[in-house]
Amino acid sequence: MNVERMNDTARAIVADGKGLLAADESTNTIKKRFDQVNVESTERTRRDYRHMLFSTPGIGQFISGVILFDETIRQEGPDGQPLVKQIEQAGMIPGIKVDRGAKPLAPTGSEKVTEGLDGLRERFAEYGEMGARFAKWRAVFSVDDDKPSEKCIRANAHALARYAALAQEADIVPIVEPEVLMDGTHAIADHAAATERVLRGVFAELAEQGVALEGMLLKPNMVLSGKEASQQAGAAEVARTTLRTFRRVVPAAVPGIVFLSGGQTDEQATRNLDAINKLAQEDGAPWPLSFSYGRALQQAALKTWAGNNDNANQAREAFMARAQQTSAAAQGRYAA
């Protein structure tokens, strides 16, 4: 296990205001996205769409790496070049989603646990040969009167830690993604309490499994009001509450934090990231605070492309603009 190499990769991912493009939507998820713009989801349309994003001129100035789905890491572009090579030539680092989705947690199924550990060591060996230098595993937690339960936290934290240990065994940087969902009517204080409990459980398991914190990245939710809450916290409150929560539980040894957008609009995700970084710069946070966004980076480009490759250049411009704005926010320099 080469911790120094993994630390170098992790630091490169969050350097200079750069962050990640999460292009790892499953086949079912990307179909839903395509349905919104009346595009049929086929192997070719999925390839064309992602090729369009990855070939955006200059995108490596703002995007450090791309999280891929299993189908995508195996695909070639229209010119026959592997998409992984295209990503590398753009100055970005290829990564891979390795979990196999959140499934009902037995016996009641009222919460979820992420599966995918079976055969993971062998899959890491294969993905490493394909060029993947980092990986991602997502666990999800709901906020309610009795959620997240300790059972759910323990089950998902253990899976995240075992995944992370296997990734590091293969010299692949694990991105650990415990997402406390914003769905619901909860207040921001309840989201903060749930996020703190989840992160405490995750870091306890990471220690138990011998994961080197210097060779990983954390991909958490921001601390937010529930999407259906009557009172919505503004960006300043989101920044204060998020940073206070993370300072309590995230070790300084972690090389960086890459936030997920988690159902926020493009503008919300950008404004909140900017507010977090402005406050972090004032108070001296111990980690870079960047992004790993999917919809918040892609939505404008997807609508512009809409399945027509003649629209590719305009779609790339929309993607580039959003990447530039998000990178600015990761440096506390966003001006709407």
pTM (whole model) above 0.85: yes
pLDDT at 206: 98
User: How many domains does the chain divide into?
Assistant: 1
310-333 average pLDDT score: 96
Closest CA to 264 of 319, 227, 302, 318: 227
pLDDT at 145: 85
Q: CA–CA separation, 262 vs 30, rounded Å? A: 16
The answer to whether position 14 is within a domain reads: yes
The answer to whether position 7 is within a domain reads: yes
The answer to whether position 87 is within a domain reads: yes
**Is there a cis peptide before residue 148, judged by omega within 30 degrees of 0?**
yes
The residue to which tokens 């009557």 are assigned = 230
| pLDDT at residue 335 greater than cutoff 80 | no
The answer to whether position 219 is within a domain reads: yes
Residue 164's Cβ-side half-sphere holds a number of Cα atoms within 13 Å equal to 33
Q: Are 191 and 180 in contact (CB under 8 A)?
A: yes
Closest CA to 254 of 197, 207, 302: 207
| pLDDT at residue 276 greater than cutoff 80 | yes
DSSP 185-214: S--HHHHHHHHHHHHHHHHHHHHHTT--GG
177 tagged catalytic = yes
Taking only the tens place, the pLDDT of each residue in 279-300 is: 999 988 999 999 999 999 999 9
Q: Are 59 and 320 in contact (CB under 8 A)?
A: yes
CATH number, domain of 235, equals 3.20.20.70
pLDDT at 283: 87
pLDDT at 336: 62
pLDDT at 111: 95
Taking only the tens place, the pLDDT of each residue in 119-154 is: 999 999 999 999 999 999 999 999 998 999 999 999
The answer to whether position 63 is within a domain reads: yes
Taking only the tens place, the pLDDT of each residue in 229-252 is: 989 999 999 999 999 999 999 999
Q: CA–CA separation, 15 vs 4, rounded Å? A: 16
pLDDT at 219: 98
- Whole domain around residue 92: which residue ranges? 3-329
Closest CA to 239 of 273, 262, 197: 273
pLDDT at 250: 98
Residue 291's Cβ-side half-sphere holds a number of Cα atoms within 13 Å equal to 36
317 tagged catalytic = no
Closest CA to 192 of 245, 118, 136, 247: 245
Phi, psi values for residue 286, rounded to 5°? -80, -5
Residue 260 DSSP SS3: coil
Token reading at 63: 């995007």
Choose, from 111, 177, 179, 205, the residue flagged as catalytic: 177
> Max Cα separation, the chain?
53
DSSP classification of residue 74: T
Taking only the tens place, the pLDDT of each residue in 24-55 is: 999 999 999 999 999 999 999 999 999 999 99
The residue to which tokens 């200079």 are assigned = 16
pLDDT at 175: 98
50-75 average pLDDT score: 96
Taking only the tens place, the pLDDT of each residue in 164-190 is: 999 999 999 999 999 999 999 999 999
Position 278 confidence tier, pLDDT thresholds 50, 70, 90: very high
CA 180 to chain centroid, in Å, comes to 13
Q: Is 131 left (phi over 0), alpha (psi -120 to 50) or beta?
A: left
The answer to whether position 334 is within a domain reads: no
More confident residue, 242 or 110: 242
Taking only the tens place, the pLDDT of each residue in 193-243 is: 999 999 999 999 999 999 999 999 999 999 999 989 989 999 999 999 999
The answer to whether position 335 is within a domain reads: no
The answer to whether position 284 is within a domain reads: yes
pLDDT at 109: 84
Token reading at 230: 């009557």
Q: Are 138 and 177 in contact (CB under 8 A)?
A: yes
